[in-house]
A and B are shown apart, each in its own frame.
Chain A
Amino acid sequence: MVLHRTAQAQDGVAFSLAVPSDLSFVGDAVDLAARHCDVGVLSQRRLQFNLRTALAEALANAIAYGNRHDPSKLVRIEVACRPDAVRIQVADDGLGFDPSQVPDPTTPEFLEREGGRGLFVLRHLVDTIEFNERGNCVCLVLRAG
């Protein structure tokens, strides 16, 4: 796992992370990113819960469904902490997916299933979520506060 600090200016901090496509790296990658985002933009509560959970979700999805655990592929995380918001981009090398086709996991027929809650949880943790057209890159925005 490689962290590269791309900017540290008066208006914020930016860095990138390259994470191997192995789910055992998720915890450490989230921890590393959260520590570098601890610059006062987000409250401690949102930093320790919303940001960590959202990044864990996005990263796990990219490793499992995007790169399909392929050890030759990396997941790329770009983070920019600005005074108004923290913006996180997570990209994989997969074929992408259509987020509108993901079923609602809170319906009675899905409630007792083990999987399928990731995107639903992600949407509730961040202020904005956007996918690129291909569906292999997600951009998460947590506004300051």
Chain B
Amino acid sequence: MGFSVSKDPRGVVIVGVDGQLIVGNRQELKQKVLDSLEGGTRRFVIDFTKTGYIDSSGLGVLVSLSKKVREQGGDLRLAGLNEDLQTLFELTKLDTLFAIAKTPAEALAAF
């Protein structure tokens, strides 16, 4: 359980969420993205391929991070949502706020 951070050859940072994104660990994700943003990264993919569930705090931190990245002229994309997570984004209408790709590879290709 936790987060993995990697960078593709073009400098896109990919953050993998392993397990869950909830109130107890959202700050860790936030800090990882903000540290990269501070370091000059402007393109991010959050990879949910290994994510079981996300609570509303997790959704909230994604909204907040997306806004911060956009304010810096960047782009934060989501990828790898399973059917239940995709439904969660649709119910909350957050699918209208984020670019959501089926796989991390698709998200990277879209940059």
Partner-B contacts on A (CB < 8 A): 23-27, 30, 45, 48-50, 52-53, 56-57, 60, 64, 105-106, 111-118, 120-121, 124
Contact = CB atoms under 8 A, between A and B. Distances in A.
30 contacts: A23-B24, A25-B24, A27-B24, A49-B52, A49-B53, A50-B84, A52-B20, A53-B53, A53-B55, A56-B22, A56-B23, A56-B55, A57-B56, A60-B22, A60-B23, A60-B55, A105-B92, A106-B91, A106-B92, A111-B93, A111-B94, A111-B96, A111-B97, A113-B60, A114-B61, A117-B59, A117-B60, A121-B56, A121-B88, A124-B91
Interface of chain A, helix or strand or loop or mixed? helix
Contacts of A121: 55-56, 59, 88, 91-92
B6 interface: no
Interface of B: 1, 20, 22-25, 52-57, 59-61, 63-64, 67, 84, 88, 91-94, 96-97
Contacts of A30: 22
